[in-house]
Amino acid sequence: MSDEVLATPGVRKWRAPGFALALPAWAWFVLFFVLPVGFVILLSFGAKPDIFRPYSLEVLSFDQYAKALDPAYGPTLKNTLRVGITGTIACLVIALPFAYWLAVRVPPRWRGLLLGLVLVPFWTNFLVRTIGWQLIISPDGIASSVLQQLGIISQPLNFLYSRSAVLLGVVYNYLPLMILPLFVAFDRLDPTLREASKDLGASRFRTFTQVTLPLAMPGVVAGLALVFIPLMGDYITAEVLGGAKGNMLGQLIASQFLSAQNWPLGAAMAVLLMLSITVTGLLFALIGVTVRSALRRRRRIVIDTGEVAA
Amino acid sequence: MTATAEPAQLHRRRVDWTNVAMGTWGVLMFAFLFAPIIVIVAYSFNTGRLLTSWNGFGVQGYTDLFDNPVAQSTVWVSIRAGVIAALVSTTLGSLAGVALARRPGRWVPFFLVVLTLVLVTPEIVDAVALLPWFVRLGTDWGLVAFSNGLVRLVVAHSLFAAAVVALIVRARMQGLDESLEESAADLYATPWNRFRQITLPLMMPAVLAGALMSFTLSLDNTIISSFISVTGNTPWPVYVFSSVRSGLRPEIAAVSTLMLLLTLVAIGIVGLVLRRGGESSGGIARTMTGG
């Protein structure tokens, strides 16, 4: 449309193609994202020839993948998946009532302020927040002294550098990424739909599970993805709260690149990380789609009688 | 809410318990969300030698910070990298965003795929991709600029940010009627004048929000920075991260508190700009999360 308008002033000028304005960004992404990631995938088939060079691409093989999955490193992938899935589900369970409350129950004039408050931790440095938790749960920290004073524990709290501490850390760190899309989803919903559901005699629970939640599903899916993907690649939380145990894949990858200088092995681990994120995501998507279609079939409404079938 | 008094009251009496439960949950959540932040700010006033054990109240952490040139230089590196990364990503992202909204074509799906990939790739993958790439460009191919720590930080920080800016600007431009620009063209405005006088002012809130977000994203970036940073150009989160292993001191909490204040000021400005641009709180949340 605008092309025709532009063409009207008589002289037909040469017009740059549509993507011209996006060309600098294209070039940037290709040069510093597509090519480097491609190179890392290539690197994962390479080998570490000697202690002086981080990699060599003379012989390409799957050796690094075999090594990354062998008993020395394999369990870490499993543990990362476990932390990733548990943490993501915990985030959803914790954030769901909170986001609903924030978007629906809180009076509108408070909503902006409270949402702003939720954004504060989101924008506080990730590492700093994690160090904050270290201060709280360390043996000479606040939680320990409070619990000892209350007589709940007699010894200093022994919680830091454990798996549960890492789980606490990741749930905390990625919680805002779950709250925000859920809030947006609930905020968008038309309140009259809930009222209609209520007027038709549905209980509050039923309204939530059959009206509100299905409509907020895009937010739930976005939240799950926003939490799960970075959580799987996290190594800072595990490093600060899990100690040197190295239970997350991210820590292993970092050590291959930063201390062991075995880049091909680290690259293979990074590719495995991406694959496991993708496969898990697809698996859950498949489960979700199946469950949804099963539910839809069960709740199908037969129009001519006006009754809910079965 | 504006219903007659009697049903409203009946309604309220029935609602109460879930409301109370949800409100309690909400308060607990805020306590949970703010606990470590409050602790960090409080412990920045710890006079002990080690951060973890509380000794007494004082501003020693801050004075130590002012006597510590290494810590200070990391802050300056972060601010410099943040400003340049914000300029780069805002320029690239804004142009791409305008093109996405105003020049649709067959290129758009391809570009959106790349944008999405940039946004969903875990940071650690970017980090392990960029480190060998910078070494390759800088050492093997002799492009010495890529051995420079600041250049590396700017490039690394601008990727995600440029994608976010592109989406914000696209959303803004899609929400605006194209007829303004068309009528400017009908009135014989040159493409440049049309862009400068019509398009640019219209997209400005999105551009400003994008720029400030890029700045704060860069300021906070820890994972990629810890892989690619070069000695002498260490940004502050990497400095803090290295002290996690070597021993946390109160000055770490002090620098964290100061950077938190800086980020909050930047975010506050974004919020104001967006609000003046007429965004709802939901819209702001969408913008802030880059969706």
What SS3 string covers A216-264?
CHHHHHHHHHHHHHHHHHCCHHHHHHHHHHCCCHHHHHHHHHHCCCCHH
Say if the Cβ atoms of B124 and A233 lie within 8 Å: yes
Say if the Cβ atoms of B26 and A117 lie within 8 Å: no
Closest-CA residue in chain B for A218?
Answer: B291
- How does DSSP assign A155-187, residue by residue? SPP--TTSHHHHHHHHHHHHHHHHHHHHHHHHH
pLDDT score at B127: 93
Alpha-carbon span B267 to B85, nearest angstrom: 17
Closest-CA residue in chain A for B261?
Answer: A124
pLDDT score at A305: 56
N- to C-terminal Cα separation, chain B: 31
| The two structure tokens encoding residue B291 | 């969706």
Please give the share of chain B, as a percent, with pLDDT higher than 90.
33
pLDDT score at B102: 82
DSSP conformation class of B229: -
Q: Which residue has the higher pLDDT, A209 or B222?
A: B222
Model pTM above 0.95: no
pLDDT score at B152: 93
Say if the Cβ atoms of B130 and A36 lie within 8 Å: yes
pLDDT mean over A17-36? 88
Say if the Cβ atoms of A105 and B19 lie within 8 Å: yes
Task: Tell me: pLDDT of B110 over 50.
Answer: yes
pLDDT score at A34: 94
Residues paired with residue A56 on neighbouring β-strands, in sequence order: A47
Label residue B20 by pLDDT band (50, 70, 90).
confident
Measure in Å the smallest separation between the Cα of B285 and chain A Cα atoms. 6
> Measured between beta carbons, which residues in chain B are less than 8 angstroms from residue A234?
124
pLDDT score at B18: 80
> Measured between beta carbons, which residues in chain B are less than 8 angstroms from residue A250?
124
Mean pLDDT of chain A: 85
Cβ neighbours around B219 below 10 Å, total = 25
Which amino acid is residue B244, in one-letter code? V
Say if the Cβ atoms of A32 and B155 lie within 8 Å: yes
pLDDT tens, residue by residue, B111-140: 999 999 998 899 999 999 999 999 888 888
pLDDT tens, residue by residue, A224-254: 999 999 999 888 899 899 876 657 899 889 9
pLDDT score at B237: 92
Task: Tell me: pLDDT of B3 over 60.
Answer: no
> Measured between beta carbons, which residues in chain B are less than 8 angstroms from residue A240?
244
- CA distances from residue A194 to A99, A198, A238 in whole angstroms, order as listed: 16, 6, 42
Say if the Cβ atoms of B282 and A184 lie within 8 Å: yes
- Any idea which residue has 């720029």 for tokens? B211
